Amino acid sequence: MNAIKNPFAVLTTVELGSGYCIQDLGAMLIDLGHQMMGAVRGVLQNPPFQPSETMEVDLVSVSVADLGLEDGVSREVAYGRAQELGLKTCPHDAAPMLRLKYHNQPNGETLIVATEPLGDATDPKLFAVARGAHGDSYLAFLRTGGKFKKSDRLVFIQPRT
């Protein structure tokens, strides 16, 4: 299947790998009043990943239904379909950068950042960028149980043409 050129509206553009260490991102989140839920704080203080190479990327938010998929699809199937549509998975540091940049996130919205999971195979974790019903913003880990609902919103990189 051929990739579709830029079929999705850009949510935001972020610059990755530009002179920061991962620990700096955690401190910036706290300074700006964002919450880090659960194990996220520990991961950002002692990251199991390195910052990305320096690049500016366009991030898009697509639902599993936008990908033409139904409830109960695996991460592998959802990511594979996104790739068929020309989208790419995100490096891990895209999640805190998205949280820093996405100021106008609607209350009640949760976005799952499409990365390789952190943790082991029995407890895979994906970053979620969310705003609670009362306006609190946070970066958390989401445990999907290995399956997505068609209403779940995933964030991918949309390459520029």
What are the boundaries of each domain within the chain? 12-51+60-157
Length of the chain: 161
Whether 94 and 58 have beta carbons less than 8 Å apart is answered as no
In angstroms, the CA 97 to CA 75 distance is 22
Per residue of the chain (161 residues), give pLDDT as tens. 455 556 799 999 999 987 778 888 888 888 898 988 878 888 888 878 878 888 899 999 999 999 999 998 999 999 999 999 999 999 999 999 999 999 899 999 999 999 988 877 667 789 999 999 998 999 999 876 778 999 999 999 999 87
Rounded CA-CA distance 84/2 in Å is 7
Q: Which of 16, 19, 87 is nearest to 53 (CA)?
A: 16
Give the phi and the psi of residue 36 in degrees, each rounded to 5. -115, 115
Classify 145 in phi/psi space as left (phi over 0), alpha (psi -120 to 50) or beta: left
Cβ neighbors of 25 (< 8 A, separation 6 or more) are 44, 93, 96, 97, 100
The rounded distance, in Å, linking the Cα atoms of 139 and 150 is: 22
Question: Model-level pTM?
Answer: 0.90
